[in-house]
Structure 1
Amino acid sequence: MSESDVQEIDQEQDLAGLENEDDLALVARMREGREQLVEEIRKVIVGQDSVVEELLIALFSGGHCLVTGVPGLAKTLLIKTVADILQLNFSRIQFTPDLMPSDVVGAEIVEEDAGHRRLVFVKGPIFTNILLADEINRTPPKTQSSLLEAMEERQVTAAGVTHQMSDPFFVLATQNPIEQDGTYPLPEAQLDRFMFKIELGYLSEAEEVEVVSSTTRVIDRTVAHPLSGEDILAFQRVARQVPAAKSVVEYAVRLVHATRPQSDRAPEYVNDWVSWGAGIRASQNLILAGKVRALLHGRFNVAYSDIKALAPSVLRHRIILNFHAEAERITPDELVRRLLNDVPQEIAS
């Protein structure tokens, strides 16, 4: 079955998924809002169009992002710009080796009032809409783990009391992939909670000329605010109504299964190079992000092309390679490229 056949089948499901006129208007608003957001981001950020698209897909999906790149590629500036445009509450934590969990989630302090003492929970910077976890791999796993509950369940438990997070809530973390002194590898449980691992590359020569020209003179970088937090929450709700054909879901699951050693779907090179493959969150994120990408590209159904386009960012941080792969200089991205070529879209019945 070709991709066009899948789309024709899904057209029959469109009305079941998005039959409300308000929903269709919301989809139109999402596409318009995406264009407005990109226009505002470009006032500050030059290039990185694919990175911006994936970051917006994560926001519209309700997912968290890990942004990786060498110093000076505007990782932090990109995240701060998005928060500014959306006018969401924003907190930045500079992760350092001496950072403690209480510096992230907050702590109980003794408060005295009219001679009476009581414990009061003072919320930490995690209680925000967008949390920039800058250089997240520079703090020990004990402090990194303070993000786990908030990222998955949108709540924080302290001293036996559960505190709900604000909606929307995103963790957008950065890390430097080349400077490893004084860093701590992110635990697999932490990595798995990021929908995407987005890698920033160097700009082209023309783009770098534009950056240098614009940053070495006086320029107005004031941005407009086309969308709000309420808009983002509405986009997240409508995206989940987008239908995905069973064959497309099966392809996403088949692709994820192929990353797991000893799986009957795994090619021989996966058994040779991979210690641990991606878990079920990878399959879920492929479909959910695929729904948002489909809407942003003018479609009301998820296509194979959506899964293939998003697979590198969804899978690269969920595949743990062994020393054989490292000896042969195989990277997770190279493995995903091979799987996209080798895993069939359809299985003959």
Structure 2
Amino acid sequence: MTKDVKLSNVKGLLIFLVVLGHLLLIVRGGMESLIILIYSFHMPAFIFLNGYFAKNVNWKKILNLLVLYIIFQSFYAVITYITHYGEVFSFRFTTPIFHLWYLVSLSCFYAVAIILNKIGKFRIGSIFIVVVILIMSVGIRWWTTGFLMEHPTISGQFLSLQRTFVFSPFFLLGFYINKETMGKLSNFLGTFKWKVFLSSLLIFIVIYTLSRNPLQFENAFYGFLQSSAFADSVSQLLKVEFQQYIVALLMIAIIFMLVNNRENILTKWGDNSLVIFLFHPVFFFVIRMHATDFLHWNIFVKLAFVVCISILVCSFLVAISRYIRWLLYPVDNILEFQEMKNKELLKEEV
């Protein structure tokens, strides 16, 4: 299948924002508005693309993600303990560390995609499943608030259930958009004559909306916090969630307007987004150990620092990706090893 350079560039920009967003959490002071803006759309956009590319996903891919989760959950348990981010004694496979919730949620998304494909995407059974998921995506955080109060020993990030439901509408949207429609939307947004003006206007609307209640939206955008962190009533929850989805969709549209289809550094980052995603927190945890050093830095120096570090981290991980890419496909490696072993046994028998 021919590579879509524009989509690779979009992925490249998004993975850069993932790295930047995490580093901004370290130097946080004065950066709250930028953090909220990034968190409003970077993972929804990624998950939207996951849905678009999940048309022919299979169970082996899900198994690979789960094995990756087990490997990197163990790896980051050690890293976070060494860097004093968490206690090794609280380590559980049921509570994803830092960014690894994405692997668990993506496995769930892919499982749903396989089921919908098997039933038929537009059959009544599939539509029923989609409606149930959408209803749960709206109400999961309200229900979780009461549930966690009754079961305080259970983490709000248990198996990434809340995030999975909260972000599922974006996956389903991408999943139900076909290649032709995606191409038309991408071309329309990319060639829009007034895209700079429209993008500026939309960004202003987004920033204005978020600035009215920054902490409320920040807590909502993380996806794993229950409704008590940003809403006092069902009506307020629905209002915040509606705004959350609209802001994310507007920002996704802006990304597709501004990103071009020419190969550049974003293309390389996008093609290696999984490598960057899995390994960049190593740098985050190390830099975070020196967080107090940044407290008195000027806001512009902080921003320049995290942007430069983000570029260096993405570029470095791409440069070494050829040496570590094999780590991304543990299931394939196991099957390949088994196949080689079987061939050797056959040779010995002969």
Report the TM-score range of the alignment, normalised by the length of the smaller protein.
under 0.3
Q: Whose strand fraction is larger, Structure 1's or Structure 2's?
A: 1
TM-score between the two structures when normalised by the length of structure 1: 0.28
TM-score between both structures, scaled by the size of structure 2? 0.28
Higher relative contact order (CA 8 A, sep 6+): 2
Greater helix fraction, Structure 1 or Structure 2: 2
